[in-house]
Structure 1
Amino acid sequence: MSEPSEKPSDRPDHTDDASAVPASTERVTKGTLARDVVLYSVARLLLVVVIAAIIVGGGRLLDVDVPLLVAAIFAVLIALPLSLVLFSKLRARVNKGIATFDERRRADQAQLRAKLRGEDTP
């Protein structure tokens, strides 16, 4: 009948070395990755709260009643680009952790597929 015409080695995303080790020598665990993601998320939320408080406080100083929802919306809009600048190191650490973890997962998956095909892996 019909066999798949494409061998696994013909695929562009296939690595020849099934036991490829991630290029990063730093060990990233689920715990450190989760900690970094939570830290980044909390920092961004706190930035939104601080900016909203500044907007509401500034409105009160000028005797203008600023609704909390309006202040929150403007705080989110201001905090989005500001957090990219203020928390760039933390964001880079989260991105690096995700990339390292994903690279390790792909290597483990390739190794498992090689074992299932019956190939010897060192």
Structure 2
Amino acid sequence: MTSPPTGHPPAGQRLGLAATVGLYALARLGLVAIVTALMLLTGTPFLIALLIGLIVALPLSMVLFRGLRGRLDTALSESRSRRSRERSALRARLRGEGDLPASPGSGDLPERQPDPRED
């Protein structure tokens, strides 16, 4: 079995980050919906219930989704460190310090050919 090309994360890592972000966003939206629905059951107008739901859901999500937020932080830090390594490797290759074989005279500029019109 072949490994994926360097510089590209395996599909599981990409889906892992996207799935974690999506799950966290859905959980937060679900909490807003639940708080809004509870407010609507008490007879509060929809717009007021939605605003209260948005305000109340923020501190509630900090408490209720602590584990999910930790998983999201971990996934984001792994992605950030992977991108940093890739960026460093790319910069090294662009400077000619990478693992690519250098062609002879790759650092030299080509010699200027004399222009016959300059005589």
* TM-score when normalising by structure 1: 0.68
1:34 matches 2:12: no
Unaligned stretches of 5+ in structure 1?
Answer: 1-27, 60-65
Residue of structure 2 equivalent to 1:108: 86
- Partner of residue 43, structure 1: 27
The structure-2 alpha-carbon separation of the partners of 1:33 and 1:120, relative to structure 1 and needing over 3 Å to count, comes to: closer
- Bigger Rg, structure 1 or 2: 2
Preserved contact between residue 89 and residue 98 of structure 2 (Cα < 8 Å):
no
1:68 matched to 2:46? The reply is yes
**CA apart distance, 1:116:** 1.2
Give the superposed CA RMSD.
1.9
In the superposition, the TM-score normalised over structure 2's length comes to 0.70
Deviation at 1:58, TM superposition (A): 2.3
Query: Where in structure 2 are the equivalents of 1:58-97 lying within 5 Å?
Result: 58-59=42-43, 66-97=44-75
Runs of 4+ in 1 over 4 A off after TM superposition: none
Higher relative contact order (CA 8 A, sep 6+): 1
Per the TM alignment, residue 120 of structure 1 is displaced from its structure 2 partner at its CA by: 4.4
The structural deviation recorded for 1:53 is 0.9
Cα displacement (A) at 1:82: 0.5
Q: Distance in 1 between matches of 2:98 and 2:15?
A: 32
